[in-house]
Structure 1
Amino acid sequence: VVLSGRVSLFRGRYVFESPEWELVEGGELIHTGRLVPLYPLTQGLRPRQVRKLMKQVIDQWAWQVEDFLPPQVRERCRLPELPRAIAQAHYPEDEQAKDSARRRLAFDELFLLQLGVLDKKRDWQEKQAGNPFDIKAAVLDAFINSLPFELTGAQRRVTEELLADLGRPRPMSRLLQGEVGSGKTVVATAALLAAAASGYQAAFMAPTEILAEQHFNTISALLSPVGGKGEEGAYMRSYPGILSRPLTVALLIGDIKQARKQKLQQHILEGDIDIVIGTHALIQKGVDFHRLGLVVVDEQHRFGVTQRSALRQKGLSPHVLVMTATPIPRTLALTLYGDLDLSVIDQLPPGRQVIKTKWLKPPQRENAYSFLRRQVAQGRQAFIICPFVEESEVIEAKAAVAEYQHLSEEVFPDLKLGLLHGRMPAVEKDRVMRRFRSGELDILVSTPVVEVGIDVPNAAVMLVESADRFGLSQLHQFRGRVGRGEEQSYCLLLAQDPSEIGRARLDLIERIQDGFQLAEEDLNLRGPGEFFGTRQSGLPDLRMARLSDVALLELAREEAIGLFQLDPGLEMPEHRPLVNELARVWPKAGEWS
């Protein structure tokens, strides 16, 4: 008999604490004297039973599993064969064998994931001929020189990356990341101008009508110094001084009167409009382009892949630029947006102030309210975010209304407050945001819908209730809603009784201003599944791999890229097992059958 367990002293004698035992019958030990697997159990099953059954299954079947990984990949990456990895993952000889097995199984998941997302990109770029733009350097130089500020080094680098892509004979497919205020819009405007100068139309799609309107005004203001005075309308503006013909920019959103909308749609179809800025209205039936060459999508995670694809269908293989102000860790960017090339504006314009961030305890609530009142008295405005985590949006909306009434009647009865929540009609949301932006409201009480929000330069205070309920990236997004003007801005975080992870988050957001650093910390704290608040769909599940393992993910990506270079269609006979495995892992892809 073999006994195995923790030994301790009891009344002067050595004793086993709950030992495992096993009869020595000449075979391999399963329960003792080795690294022993722990399996989840259901009622009526005992660990010894499951271990014995699993050992029989592994011994009989693991060695019959076909290894789909090409031998050269396995050898380069120093990975064990798949049958051995499966066997050693369950019943390892030692710690090194266990780690090697787990590394192989994790690599497989990441390798298959990368092959899938890279195939999407290859399918888009290589199976469809692109429209190479004839980049007019003189036009772009005139635009950049007319700006009332110097581009940062990062903006210049990313602009060059975009223009290089636009000049190639395959469609651009690029993700542009940059903090709030890093200057993504001016870079996107250079790309829009490059399209128009090459004789193509460009579409810019924003997640909300008020953001579309903001982009319309911002892009118009950027083009105005170089373009000169032309037609200035609420929905269409032209600039005669940029190209050999007037450059026309239009706004197409849902609340435009039908007659005007039809007129705009006709102008788009006939090619009279160069740059169209809008919302989902751009992908609706009835909006057809004369010669769509570039699509810019703002805040990608607010749009599904379906919407992105629908806009692409409106042009003959247009170039696509996706922008986000949500800092995404490199590993997640390579995974979730692996079909896109990555550009990062990792530098803020000079003079942008640090937003003073403070975590406040419950007794300091009145101090926070007093501080907010003083800021309003000085002519500033403020946000108050209420994180109502309820069973349904209806209950959440009721809770938001109750909190708004409490604040407006009992805390700030002399100030003008507005309310924003997810159940409000889009028209009402826009009306409230316009009142806040114009200064009619002192304080905007909101549920987290303000995360992707409007630019209000006069807003100087962000007060977040129950801040420990939010992830770091979301808190950083809230903080980015203020600090857009010249005044010092503040982010105040109230938390009643935060958990250990909640305290860790609040400590980090108080200390760190860099969104990309916070995103990495957020990924480590919460894991990839929760990073965007809801689980991403359309990607295979990861059981063994961790997205925090940057080195293994990048190794898998390198090998996937190399394999497609060697065998673009995976048609070599030795790659048939891999094709079969891809069809199993990506059942909806359709390319692997």
Structure 2
Amino acid sequence: MTYNQLDWERLQKALVVEAERGFTDLVGKQYRFSEFVCLSFGQPLPDSSLIERRQWQEMASRFANYPQLTLEERQHLVATASRFLAQIQQGSRGDAGNDSQKTTNYQLPITNYQLPRTTPVNQSNQTILLDQSLGNLPGIGRRGEYLAQKLGLYTVRDVLFYYPRDYIDYARQVDIANLIEGETVTLVGTVKRCNCFTSPKNKKLTIFELLLKDKTGQVKLNRFYAGTRYSNRPWQEGMKNRYTEGTVVAASGLVKKNKYGITIDNPEIEVLGDLEDTIDSHGIGRVVPVYPLTEGVPADLMRRVAMAALPAAKQLEDPLPVALRDRYGLMGLQDAIANIHFPADTATKQAARHRLVFDEFFYLQLGFLQRRQTLRR
């Protein structure tokens, strides 16, 4: 394989042979299977869309971890790569001279939504150092430090490079009339009615009901609280007083449909000053990060630790020169780290991920090429 031209036939053959030999990461004359495929997907993809190029580079990153995958995961990845290659080649042949068709294939579904008004994630002016211990971060303390160490996190730098494994996207504010089952969304409306009572079938279960309305309709929201601490009358009356008629609230969650109609499942709710007010909560109206955890480490703690560490991202030096970043349309490292943890929206999250995947593959490919030069000597 030359390093300025992609060898499609050889790449496809490598995938076929690897599958025939039982996904053992075969060793060739110069490279292992995973190294060869990783380098192949690192070649520029000609006549491709931005989405295709990003998927192409992410495929390279996935094959970089091939030796650590289980047999089932290897099978799935090889099959995915084969389908992806077929899709790219079929698109190249079928869309020749018809760019409008190619663009149409990658259009995202149109949804009527806007970005919720939210306050910035971290407005702290306190100086946070990269090598600072986590117990000294504001709002974390020794208990939080102890729990973070269960994840192998000891310094602020460790936290910055501990990326979320997934996200919950609440950064889409929709009208009630535009709720679609299966979407995660944010609503902003006014309370029409509120009720909070103990379940007649279970004295330890408290049911909180909220009827929310906006200019397009109304929706009933429910939350369930288990435990005797919620079944006492003062707590329930306090909830009713907090959500009186006319109170403006923001609610985020997964849209579901039950026998009573459309609703949001177990929503996170915040009281706002008015319809134009900003949302302060870090779990409402935003793209919420989901981190790899272990037993005894709560998700909200990891988010608070990441948030407290975020100001230190400004101290990171970007190893990639500006010319290289501009050439590949890459976000700066400081912005990428900030937005991989708490992106403003899905597009920003994807741009941050693109930069960090590029870094991972770039250094991996340099290592492969260095190894090749060493073998030649």
TM-score, length of structure 1 as denominator length: 0.19
Q: Which has the higher contact order (CA 8 A, sep 6+)?
A: 2
Structure number with bigger Rg: 1
- After TM superposition, the score normalised by the length of structure 2 is 0.30
